[in-house]
Amino acid sequence: MPNSDFSDAFFRRSASSRRRFLQLSAAAFSAVALSNCAPTSSENSDSADSAPASDKTLYLYTWGDYSSEAIYQQFQQQTGIKIVADVYDSNETMLAKLQAGGGDQYSLIYPSDYMVRQMIDSDLLLKLDPAKLEGFENVMDRWKNPVYDPQAAHSVPFNWGTTGLIYNSKLITAEPEDWNFLWENRKELSGKITLVDDVRETLGMVLKSIGHSYNSTDPAQIEAAYQKLLELKPDLAGFKTYGFEDQLIGGDLAVSMTYSALGNLLPVENSHLKYVIPKSGTSVWTDAMAIPAKAPDPDLAYAWINFILEPENAALAAQELKLSTPNKAAFELLPAEIKSKETLYPTAEMLKNGEGIQPVGKALDLYDKYWTEAKSA
């Protein structure tokens, strides 16, 4: 694993380019950035020269901020397998593509916890062969038998995190403590607020702000959340999972709902940005690695999963992407200042009101109905 000084220096150089990447289309990024992400033999280093020879390519479908050229190069140098990645900005986008026939395009995907359960129930995921997994013992105990995937039969955790608020401290001097900050200050911040473009996260957040579960199936509670979201809608700049970053940095936005992945990444180069975990509770999510049932080459997917399960590689990914690792051996390799960073590894007290997002059965139709109406209002 690179030492922390090297990792931090590399991250400072790469963070702004990763922000630019988030604004590219998935197709453009796949064609331009990843098809030749590792050195070829004509321009390689000594380490690349020693890579196993291979003409195989692993096709990934992943979250926008989980792609890293440095990690992909490390994988190719270690295995000889090339990487091509397409990206998505919500679980629902990923699911829709696979349901429309895209499941035979990718050998590995990154569904969130509740989506793992939903995809298992729809027979969209391959059951993993434990004999082909190397290093699963490194996973922390809480992920060895997760509620969304008993016995981790269909998925391996990649990272975990929270959903919260990132704000520009030049515009907001008193730190937001909870979700209700958005409603209490909506007039002063009108046009400078964004929420994530995700039905379960955003309606879940509103449910939490009025004292209900992220996973409510009560029609009256879901409607109440919809009505409260409508109160905030006129003061929103939009629903954006990605693409808000430069506006927040520059001051055109004041506060954005975001995942801790970006919440920890953006302040590295922009110290006036701060990420907070709301006190009333939020989603505590896991993003996993899984193999589609119709994957074109599952063996390449196993190669990637085993690569990530290696502690040194998991620690590299945690530092490079500013993510929280579920790999206990990798966690021990991290510098003390990272392990003690509460926005990456929150205390039990900070998470006591948190919830994992779970499938809501037939209530999902109601969520989708109100979500469509709220976005079009």
The terminus-to-terminus CA distance of the chain in angstroms comes to 50
Pick from 78, 32, 72: nearest CA to 51: 78
- Give me the DSSP letters along 49-102: HTSPP---EEEEEEEGGG--HHHHHHHHHHH--EEEEEEESSHHHHHHHHHTTG
Instruction: Say whether 200 counts as a known binding-site residue.
Output: yes
Pick from 352, 198, 369: nearest CA to 284: 352
Tokens of 310: 């290696």
Edge-to-edge order in the sheet of strand 108-109: 82-88, 57-63, 108-109
- Give exposure, 189-211, as e/b (b: 16+ Cβ within 10 Å): beebbbbbbbbbbbbbbbbbbee
Residue type, 215: N
Instruction: Say whether 184 counts as a known binding-site residue.
Output: no
Instruction: Say whether 114 counts as a known binding-site residue.
Output: yes
CA dihedral 334, 338, 342, 347 (to 10 degrees): 20
Instruction: Say whether 201 counts as a known binding-site residue.
Output: yes
The answer to whether residues 232 and 152 touch, using CB atoms and an 8 Å cutoff, is no
Q: Is 326 helix (H, G, I), strand (E, B) or coil?
A: coil
Tokens of 97: 């593509």
Q: Is 272 helix (H, G, I), strand (E, B) or coil?
A: coil
| Residue numbering of the annotated binding site | 114, 198-201
| Residue numbering of the annotated binding site for spermidine | 114, 198-201
